[in-house]
Amino acid sequence: MQCPSDQTNDPWSPTLDYKGNYGLNWGRWSFIDQGGPATNPAPLNVTQAGGKSPFYIDYGAKMGDITDGTSNTLMMMEMLQPPRDHDGDVTDRRGRIWNDDSFCYQISARIQPNSPSPDYGQCIHNLQKNWPCTRDTVVANTINYFMGSRSRHTGGVNVVLCDGSVQFISNSIDLVSWASLSGMSDGAVVSGVLQ
């Protein structure tokens, strides 16, 4: 679960919440709403039901649930792992795998890979290290947290599809295609972006 291109960071505690570089496909919007409100511009407006991804709170899809096809649906995406505590007592949750808090390993297709647009959650903003972030520690807002897929690789990120294959996705993938890959049964089968 560690990418050799990134720096391995200490676990949150000695026995749990290790940092890693691969997180689950969490749809195209936020921790609680995988599809985005109907009032959003496309492709971030397919609502919770339409944007359902293979993973959610207390949910893991069966193969038969992935009607867009396992070779057309993201399972895991790459992420960076900031240190657990790099500003005194300020924490950054990103990369905390095996943790059910929001904004740890749940990766959204709301922004394109390696986007300069910030993540939103409990994190530290540091553009020099490719950790763009809008920090918010208000407990009531955690349902709206999201983070994008990021890497230290030139040009894109590694992903795992639900068929088990590993693909490299370019930073230049258009948002419609990227968001469509996150849905497992939205009927939007993407062609031409996977090798």
Residue 5 placed within a domain: no
Residue 173 placed within a domain: yes
Amino acid 93: pLDDT = 84
Amino acid 89: pLDDT = 60
Residue 135 placed within a domain: yes
Angle at 94 between CA 24 and CA 126, to 5 degrees: 135
Integer Cα distance of 32 and 39 in angstroms? 16
Residue 16 placed within a domain: no
C-alpha of 100 from chain center: 14
Instruction: Decide: 5 and 156 in contact? Cβ < 8 Å.
Output: no
Residue 41 placed within a domain: yes
Residue 46 placed within a domain: yes
Amino acid 11: pLDDT = 60
Report the b/e string of 5-16 with b at 16+ CB within 10 A: ebeebebbeeee
Amino acid 37: pLDDT = 94
Integer Cα distance of 175 and 127 in angstroms? 22
Amino acid 81: pLDDT = 85
Residue 58 placed within a domain: yes
Range of the domain at 83: 22-182
Determine the residue type at 24: L
pLDDT of the chain along its 195 residues, tens only?
888 888 776 665 555 667 889 999 999 999 999 999 999 999 999 998 889 999 999 999 999 999 999 999 999 999 998 876 545 567 788 888 877 889 889 999 999 999 999 999 988 888 988 889 999 989 999 999 999 999 999 999 999 999 999 999 999 999 999 999 999 998 877 766 665
> Domain total for the chain?
1
What is the value of pTM for the model shown?
A: 0.91
Which residue do the tokens 């020099």 mark?
128
Residue 110 placed within a domain: yes
